Amino acid sequence: MDLTLKIWRQADRKAKGRFEIYSIKNISPDSSFLEMLDVLNEQLVRDNAEPVAFDHDCREGICGMCSLFINGRAHGPDESITTCQLHMRKFRDGDTIVIEPWRACGFPVIKDLIVDRNAFDKILQAGGFISVNTNSVQDGNAIIIPKEKSDEAMDAAACIGCGACVATCKNSSAMLFVASKVSQLALLPQGKPEAVRRAKAMVAKMDELGFGGCTNTGACEVECPKNISLAHIARLNREFLLANLKP
């Protein structure tokens, strides 16, 4: 496959960014999107040019670091995948591919396609934890939890914090991320001790960091690589309301 790449280049968060156009040839349809970027960077290095900075780690759809906006979609033109799971067979020979970083106040650009997603860590530090002490293995079975509750909590815990929900939302809202982290703990008895403060603290931190509000367009759920449901946002709203009714 021969492709034209239109890639966002930005030296640092203070610099003015711009799109640059690159041509790349003989890309296998079976290669991954990140492997294609690796080939581009090898080509740039051979030409004594600055390689494109992009984030990656596991390349197995687990870590969420490979977050790119590709042809107007978070993680590109496929369903329920991260960028590292996107393959070049989803494109056609001769295509022009536009590649951008996440666009959100809460995710400032570090360089090129890399954004600072530490805001998610700060939201978790505000309340996404439990204080219960655990000891040996049998403690995991000391409290009986209904299977439907544990399954729903595990579905919420599948969130990898990639930020696709924020990048896709017209308001740059982080509600789906916050909701998944609140929901996975709200469904379990181990999460009850901090329940009164958790939702309030995490929503307050989300607002403080510049993320927008949720208007229930549903775009976040559509583009989430782990199919996190909007129903978790409803639970977050209930937890937040109850927290504000309690002293």
**Quick one: what percent of the chain has pLDDT higher than 70?**
96
Does 120 have pLDDT greater than 80? yes
Average pLDDT over residues 118-144: 81
pLDDT band at residue 218 using 50, 70 and 90 as cut-offs:
very high
Per-residue burial over 146-178, b = 16 or more CB atoms within 10 Å of its CB, e = otherwise:
eeeeeebbebbbebbbbbbbbbbbeebbbbbbb
Can you give the pLDDT at residue 222? 96
pLDDT at 174 over 90: yes
Predicted local distance difference test score (pLDDT) of residue 142? 74
pLDDT tens-digit map of 21-44: 999 999 999 999 999 999 999 999
* Residue 246 pLDDT: 78
Confidence at residue 190, expressed as pLDDT on a 0 to 100 scale? 85
User: 3-111: which CATH topology?
Assistant: Ubiquitin-like (UB roll) (3.10.20)
- Domain segments of the chain: what residues? 3-111, 117-245
Confidence class of residue 132 from pLDDT cuts 50, 70 and 90? confident
Domain 117-245 class, CATH top level? mainly alpha
pLDDT at residue 243 tops 80: yes
| Confidence label for 145 from pLDDT (cuts 50, 70 and 90) | confident
Q: What is the pLDDT of residue 24?
A: 97
Half-sphere exposure (Cβ direction) of 153: Cα atoms closer than 13 Å: 14
Give me the pLDDT at residue 31, please. Answer: 97
Banded model confidence at residue 215, pLDDT cuts 50, 70, 90: very high
Residue 140 pLDDT class (50, 70, 90 cuts): low
| Mean pLDDT score of the chain | 94
pLDDT at 164: 97
pTM over 0.75: yes
